[in-house]
Amino acid sequence: MSPTIFVTGVSGYIGGQVVSDLIKKHPEYQIIALVRTEKQAEIIRATWPAVETVLGDLDNHDLLVEQGKRADVVLQLASSDHTLAAKGLIEGLSQGKKGHYIHISGTGILHDVSTGFGNLSSRIYHDVADIKEITSFDSTHLHSQTDAAVISSGKELNISTAIVAPSAIYGVGKGPINNRSVQVPVLAQETLKRGRPFTVGAGNNIWDHIHISDLSAAFGLLVEEALKPAGGAATWGSEGYYFVESGEHSWAQLGRDIAAVVAERGIKVEAEVEQM
């Protein structure tokens, strides 16, 4: 029998890419997608006729429980911070096939401005060596409350969970509704408006980054492992926390790179990075 994958966030940048790649690699999967509007449902069905759409949102607890019951794997890709939705989906899984829950978080949980905006921090986190610290952050850390709820709910209800925390995502996605990221396009747009690149402070702070297709591959791999006996080779539960990255950049260097690309396309901008 074909495995059932319930996906939230299919209209978004990440969810659209993940579903596109899952369908291409695993046409045997039965994918059920949560959408907020009938217009979104029409677009999804026109793009992927085999995908079943369910109309609702993350606030509809009963709906999420019911869909969790049906699923072998749940991919929660719509929000990193909707704690009640995460709990509802895990509750549903516990009442159904006892499947696996995979949750989108983000490396924003590591944001630290104690040295000032735009300054480099010497601390580098590792998702294995520092797992106990990462999963014990207090509520002042972005995403931490929902991450903690995912882990605790999974433990309480005996559901295997995994949290995926991507860094800055770039690249054009394959989803039919939203195929653009946030940070780089916004920075490029503002550079064009201002006529020069800019940073907050010196821009020496460093972020990791990941291409949208590489991030999607990570989710796809976790789905494949989830469908194997005992969750395959993946780590689940309190240590099932994954930072996903393929390189790093400083924001000052990114500003210079954007200015260079803009200039190559014949648009005049100042090369010097303005510090704000």
Which domains are seen in the chain, by residue range? Answer: 4-180+208-247 (3.40.50.720)
pLDDT, tens digit only, all 276 positions of the chain: 899 999 999 999 999 999 999 999 999 999 999 999 999 999 999 999 999 999 999 999 999 999 999 999 999 999 999 999 999 999 999 999 999 999 999 999 998 888 889 999 889 999 999 999 999 999 999 999 999 999 999 999 999 999 999 999 999 999 999 999 999 999 999 999 999 999 999 999 999 999 999 999 999 999 999 999 999 999 999 999 999 999 999 999 999 999 999 999 999 888 888 998
Which pLDDT does position 273 carry in this prediction? Answer: 87
pLDDT at 240: 99
Q: What's the rounded Cα separation, in Å, for the pair 39 and 59?
A: 19
Q: What is the structure's pLDDT at 116? A: 86
Q: Report pLDDT for 157.
A: 99
Where is 275: in which H helix or E strand?
strand 274-275
∠ Cα 174 175 180 (to 5°): 80
Q: Rounded distance, CA 271 to CA 258, Å? A: 10
- Token couple for 100: 């696996």
Rounded CA separation 29/51 (Å) = 9
First and final CA of the chain: distance in angstroms?
57
pLDDT at 112: 81
Residue 257: predicted pLDDT: 94
Neighbours of 53 (CB within 10 A): 19
Residue positions counted in the chain: 276
3-state secondary structure of 156: helix
pLDDT at 230: 97
- Mutual angle of helices 212-226 and 13-25, in 10-degree steps: 60
Please tell me whether the overall predicted TM-score, pTM, comes out greater than 0.85 for this model: yes
**Token reading at 220:** 């796809």
Of 51, 57, 8, nearest to 30 (Cα)?
Answer: 51
**Beta strand 206-211 with 247-250: parallel, antiparallel or unpaired?**
antiparallel
> 243 near 260, Cβ under 8 Å?
no
